[in-house]
């Protein structure tokens, strides 16, 4: 209870600090793309954290993030873009439509105990494909002509376009993270992790597996869709090819696997690193190279870093924090490129440090060698 109150206070403080950034940006006259960079990072953090509520916690591997995202995008694109609803009225519906689609899918695939996780994964892969076909067929949704979001008016209290996007994505990200944290700490979270470890044992111990899996899938779809609803504004001209592409599921998988799916913070760390790298690649003109890089990194991570780098960073937090500070300080002194590049160098430093295997790290850090009994325990857990 005490730790939960402290964590929630932490969320509130982080929210207030981040909320102040647009004012600061105006005062200090930051380049406009800083805000864009930040709210795109919020977008990815939300997508990967919501994906992790299902896949990380319950172990059911999902390719469906693109579907939830796409349903959200098209909900606001149709309601606000075509029907002329006010944007803030349409936005919650983006989350709820995705929630309904997600629960319908869950009703089909979670009903059957004989269905393994791999069938679930493939079904989610096909869902985005089918939703794309539906959007193309019905002219009320898209009909192959796309949908414009560029003339949708935003409420005045949100400010100009960039600060408004920043504030909306920030609120949704915070809601997602608090939910991810609360699930992680709750009975639901324990049940989901039990399902991940061994579903039959979990059911035998009285975990209501169907309800819990539906809850996780629902939360995933809801937040993915809600953020999709806002993102329709950033896309501007919404097309089926763009929205239901393989991009969103690919990135959230990569981000979460990099950060680690066993902890709610894993996807946050992974998203920051991957998004920053990809963003800088793009701005340096390597768009075509991106896919190759992403694919290779995914393969490498699956083979090499099983638990994700967040847990390692947390174990090595002193070194991480000092390295981050050091690189930022060094790049401030030695070069004058934009803040985002400095951020990239610092993140790459952390990434490299986190990739050092535990054994090599212990030698580097001059820790005491584990006693023979400890190392035997070590090996046994690895073997198991």
Q: How far is the CB of 257 from another protein (least distance, A)?
A: 7
CA torsion 358-361-366-368 (nearest 10°) is 0
Q: Which residues pair with 94 in a beta bridge?
A: none
Which span (31-39, 184-192, 295-303, 372-380) binds another protein, by CB under 8 A? 295-303
Instruction: Dig out the tokens for 259 from the structure.
Output: 């950060």
Shortest Å, Cβ 198 to another protein: 15
| CB contact set of 53 (below 8 Å; sequence gap of 6+) | 179, 180, 183, 216, 219, 220, 223
Residue 121 Cβ, how far from another protein at the closest point, in Å?
6
Residue 219 and residue 17: Cα distance in Å, rounded?
A: 26
Q: Are 56 and 195 in contact (CB under 8 A)?
A: no
Is 352 among the residues that bind another protein (CB under 8 A)?
Answer: no
- Strand-pairing partners, residue 238, are 147
The CB-of-306 to another protein minimum distance in angstroms stands at 10
| Stretch touching another protein by CB under 8 A, among 116-124, 161-169, 177-185, 345-353 | 116-124
Q: Does 214 bind another protein (CB under 8 A)?
A: no
In sequence order, what are the residues at sequence separation of 6 or more whose Cβ sits closer than 8 angstroms to the Cβ of residue 331? 337, 341, 342, 345, 346
In the complex, the smallest distance separating the C-beta of residue 21 from another protein, rounded to whole angstroms, is: 34
Candidate residues 19, 100, 121, 340; the one interacting with another protein per rule CB under 8 A: 121
Q: Does 362 bind another protein (CB under 8 A)?
A: no
For 82-92, give one letter per residue: b (16+ CB within 10 A) or e: eeebebeebbe
> What does 204-255 look like in DSSP terms, one character per residue?
HTT--HHHHHHHHHHHHHHHHHHHHHHHHHHH-EE-HHHHTSSHHHHHHHHH
Site string for another protein, 226-265 (x = CB under 8 A): --------------------x---x--x---x--------
**Pick from 103, 98, 73: which is nearest to 216 by CA?**
103
Which tokens go with 216?
A: 């996780």
Chosen residue from 103, 298, 319, 351 binding another protein by CB under 8 A: 298
Segment near another protein (CB under 8 A), from 11-19, 103-111, 146-154, 224-232? 103-111
How far from the centroid of its chain's Cα atoms is residue 103's Cα?
20
Closest to another protein by CB, 129 vs 148, is: 129
Interface residues for another protein in 28-67 (CB under 8 A)?
Answer: 61
Stretch that binds another protein, among 69-77, 89-97, 117-125, 358-366 (CB under 8 A): 117-125
Tally the C-alpha atoms within 13 A of residue 333's C-alpha that lie toward its C-beta. 5
Indicate whether 201 belongs to the interface with another protein (CB under 8 A): no
Q: Decide if residue 117 touches another protein (CB under 8 A).
A: yes
Q: Which residue, 14 or 115, is less far from another protein as judged by CB?
A: 115
Of these, 9, 291, 337, 375, which contacts another protein (CB under 8 A)?
291
Contact 195, 202 (CB under 8 A): yes
Output 142 or 279, the one with its CB closest to another protein: 142
Among 17, 24, 284, 299, binds another protein (CB under 8 A): 299
Stretch that binds another protein, among 69-77, 114-122, 170-178, 203-211 (CB under 8 A): 114-122
Instruction: Specify whether the backbone of 84 is left (phi greater than 0), alpha (psi in -120 to 50) or beta.
Output: left
Write out the residues near another protein by the rule CB under 8 A: 61, 108-109, 111-112, 114-115, 117-119, 121-123, 125-126, 129-130, 133-134, 136-137, 246, 250, 253, 257, 288, 291-292, 294-296, 298-299, 302-303
């Amino acid at each position: 209870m005490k730790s939960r109150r402290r964590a929630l206070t932490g969320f509130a403080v982080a929210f207030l600090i981040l909320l102040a950034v647009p004012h600061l940006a105006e005062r200090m006259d930051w380049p406009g793309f800083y805000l864009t960079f930040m709210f795109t990072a919020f977008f990815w953090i939300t997508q990967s954290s919501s994906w992790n509520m299902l896949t990380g916690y319950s172990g059911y591997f999902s390719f469906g993030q693109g579907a939830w995202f796409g349903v959200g995008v098209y909900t606001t694109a149709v309601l606000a873009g075509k029907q002329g609803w006010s944007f803030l009225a349409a936005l919650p519906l983006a989350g709820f439509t995705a929630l309904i689609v997600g629960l319908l899918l869950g009703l089909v695939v979670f009903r059957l105990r004989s269905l393994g996780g791999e069938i679930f994964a493939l079904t989610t892969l096909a869902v985005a494909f089918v939703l794309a076909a539906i959007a193309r067929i019905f002219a009320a949704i898209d009909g192959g002509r796309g949908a414009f979001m560029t003339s949708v008016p935003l409420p005045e209290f949100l400010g100009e376009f960039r600060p408004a996007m920043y504030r909306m994505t920030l609120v949704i990200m915070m809601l997602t993270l608090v939910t991810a944290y609360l699930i992680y700490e709750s009975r639901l979270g324990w049940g989901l992790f039990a399902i991940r470890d061994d579903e039959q044992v979990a059911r035998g111990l009285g975990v209501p597996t169907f309800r819990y899996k539906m809850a996780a899938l629902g939360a995933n779809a809801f937040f993915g869709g809600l953020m999709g609803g806002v993102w329709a504004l950033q896309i501007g001209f919404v097309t089926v090819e763009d929205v239901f592409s393989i991009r969103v599921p690919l990135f959230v998988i990569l981000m979460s696997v990099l950060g680690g799916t066993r902890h709610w913070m894993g996807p946050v760390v992974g998203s920051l690193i991957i998004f920053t790298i990809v963003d800088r690649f793009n701005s340096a003109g390597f768009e075509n190279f991106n896919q190759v890089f992403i694919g290779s990194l995914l393969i490498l991570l699956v083979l090499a870093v099983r638990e994700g780098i967040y847990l390692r960073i947390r174990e090595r937090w002193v070194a991480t924090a000092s390295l981050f500070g050091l690189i930022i300080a060094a790049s401030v002194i030695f070069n004058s490129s934009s803040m985002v590049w400095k951020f990239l160098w610092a993140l790459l430093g952390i990434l490299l440090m986190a990739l050092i295997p535990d054994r090599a790290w212990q030698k580097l850090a001059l820790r005491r060698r584990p006693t023979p009994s400890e190392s035997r325990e070590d090996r046994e857990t690895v073997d198991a």
